[in-house]
Each structure stands twice: as C-alpha cells, then as structure tokens.
Amino acid sequence: MKLCELFGQGRTVFSCEIFPPKKDAPVDSIYQTLDGLKDIRPDFISVTFGAGGSSGLNRSTHEIASIIQNQYHIHAMAHLTCVGASQADVDTLLEQLKEDGVENILALRGDVNPDYPPKTDFKYASELAAYIRAHSDIGVSAACYPEGHPESPDLVSDVRYLKEKVDAGAQHLVSQLFFDNEDFFRFLERCRIAGIDVPIEAGIMPVLSAKSIQRMVSLCGASLPQKLTRILARYGDHPQALREAGIAYAIDQISDLIAGGVDGIHLYTMNNPDVAKQIAGSVTSIRTL
C-alpha cells in the first residue's frame, strides 16, 4: 500500500521513525525496538539511511524495512539519499524492495559526510523522487521543513522548491522536527497557498536530554520556544524530571496539532519504544477521533 492512501480516512495518521542500530549494538536490538513499537500500532514505520549505506550498522535500512513489512506486518518506508546512492544503487534497491514487498521510499538529498565521498547521480531529492516514480511503482515520500531548510535563503524559495519536489513525484511529506506548533501551522498555510496538496505529517521529537536536543537543534536549525527553554533551564540537570517534562511537552504538541486538523504525526522515536508508547498511549482517543 502506498502511504499516501492512508490519509483522508477521517483520522490522524500516526507513524514512527527508527534508525538501524550501530555494529556494536546487539544484533537483535532492532527486534526489541520493534516489539515495543508494534504495541502502539503505528500506521507505518520508517527507517533512516545513513551516509556510507549499511557499513558500520548491524542491519541495513532495507533489511530492517523488510523485517517491519514481513515479520511485523506494518507498512514500512525505507529512507534513501542522493548522496548515499548512485543510479545503479537505486536500481538494485528498487528490485530488492519489490522482492520484499516494501512499497514506500522517503527520497532525500542527505548531507555530505566528509568520511564518505558523495554519490553525484542525483543532486536534489526532487531528482531522486522523479527517477523512482519513473522506474517503479513504489510510493514516494519526501522531507519538508516548517522553519525552512537551513540552506534555504528564504521561506518563499524553500516552498517553491518543495512544490517542485511534489510535482516531481513526492506523494506525501514528512516534516523536520519543530517545537512551536505555530511554525508548523504557518508552514501548512504557505504550502496550501503554493498549491502543495499532498498529505503533510508533522515530525515530533520528544526532548529527553538537554545535550541531545542542543545537538539536534544545531544540526537542523529548529528554534526553541521560551516554554521549552524554561523547561531546559529548570530540569536540564535532572534527567528524570526533564524526561517527564519532555514527554508532557510532546503530548501537548501532538494534541494541539490534531485539534488543528494535521494530516499525521510522525514520531522520531530514537529507537526508544517506551517513550513512544507513553506518548502514543496518552493520545489514543485523540488520534482516533
């Protein structure tokens, strides 16, 4: 099933994102993550794709997507980047995914990692999306940025290129994490005005540690609203208190987004099923309304 078909059924789509564990993690750790996530019955689970493909990982993106689809019977979406895949790599992957019944790809540009020379067959995610649509019948999703992509000179050109990406073949969008819902609602309005009419999921990352959130914010450029800065200032040195406050913040964000009619919630789980369960459990009736 193409993920875009999940939307428009009168309820909010709820999905989760995981990453392939590193080589030094126990080989079965992915099963622990998935065993926990299956209990919250996500509409789909997506698997990230790192620079350098599967080297350094104990299982590849494609392998985990196949496990999700075939052993857990949950729709899977495999991430894929331009910098990490040549045209020949994409052709091979499309064949493998087809064989394994994985029907969805998140087409991304990726960021250059100095340790791995980038592949250059596709420059932008829109080119990758167009190629996949032209050479397979796999569903194609893409990324979007409520506060603009960090390299974009302004929000207008950001949405213009996003529209090009949708016109090139992206059938569903998943947003970068953000902490201020007003940023997301304003972004949605810009998209709809620009004629972007595919479903757009809101990406939510619970704040669980001050260090990891500062790192994420410096990488992706998301801004921290005062409400969250206060939480970090007050509980930053108290891991359990920060965890509770971070989960409460994420639940509050999600309930407000659903009340505002968002198409879907995409939870960045950081492979932590307990936190995902706690959050999903607190919005069960809200998300099925």
**Nearest distance from residue 263's CB to ligand FAD, in Å?**
14
CA distance 232 to 25: 29
Cα-Cα-Cα-Cα torsion 120, 122, 125, 126, nearest 10 degrees, comes to 150
Q: Is 76 in the site for ligand FAD (CB under 6 A)?
A: no
Q: Quick one: which of 74, 98, 254, 69 has its CA closest to 178?
A: 254
Kindly indicate which of the ranges 122-130, 184-192, 222-230, 271-279 contains the residues binding ligand FAD, using the contact rule CB under 6 A: 122-130
Q: Quick one: which of 263, 197, 184, 266 has its CA closest to 7?
A: 263
Q: Is 125 in the site for ligand FAD (CB under 6 A)?
A: yes
Q: Is 205 in the site for ligand FAD (CB under 6 A)?
A: no
**Nearest distance from residue 64's CB to ligand FAD, in Å?**
12
Cα-Cα-Cα-Cα torsion 68, 89, 216, 248, nearest 10 degrees, comes to -20
Nearer to ligand FAD, 161 or 185 (CB): 161
CA distance 160 to 190: 10
Site for ligand FAD, residues 214 to 253, rule: CB under 6 A: none
Kindly indicate which of the ranges 31-39, 67-75, 124-132, 207-215 contains the residues binding ligand FAD, using the contact rule CB under 6 A: 124-132
Q: Is 242 left (phi over 0), alpha (psi -120 to 50) or beta?
A: alpha
**Binds ligand FAD (CB under 6 A): choice among 16, 108, 232, 258:** 108
Q: Is 133 in the site for ligand FAD (CB under 6 A)?
A: no
Residue 48: phi and psi, rounded to 5, are -70, 165
**Binds ligand FAD (CB under 6 A): choice among 60, 66, 69, 81:** 81
Residue with tokens 């949605």: 188
Kindly indicate which of the ranges 69-77, 95-103, 157-165, 276-284 contains the residues binding ligand FAD, using the contact rule CB under 6 A: 157-165
Q: Is 195 left (phi over 0), alpha (psi -120 to 50) or beta?
A: left
HEC secondary structure over 249-288:
HHHHHHHHHHHCCCCEEEEECCCCHHHHHHHHHHCHHHHC
**Binds ligand FAD (CB under 6 A): choice among 29, 32, 48, 96:** 48
Token pair listed for 196: 């972007």
**Binds ligand FAD (CB under 6 A): choice among 110, 199, 264, 273:** 110
User: Which residues does the annotation mark as catalytic?
Assistant: 17
**Nearest distance from residue 287's CB to ligand FAD, in Å?**
19
Q: Is 122 in the site for ligand FAD (CB under 6 A)?
A: no
Q: Which residues bind ligand FAD (CB under 6 A)?
A: 48-49, 79, 81, 108-111, 124-126, 143, 149, 151-152, 158, 161, 165, 174, 176, 203
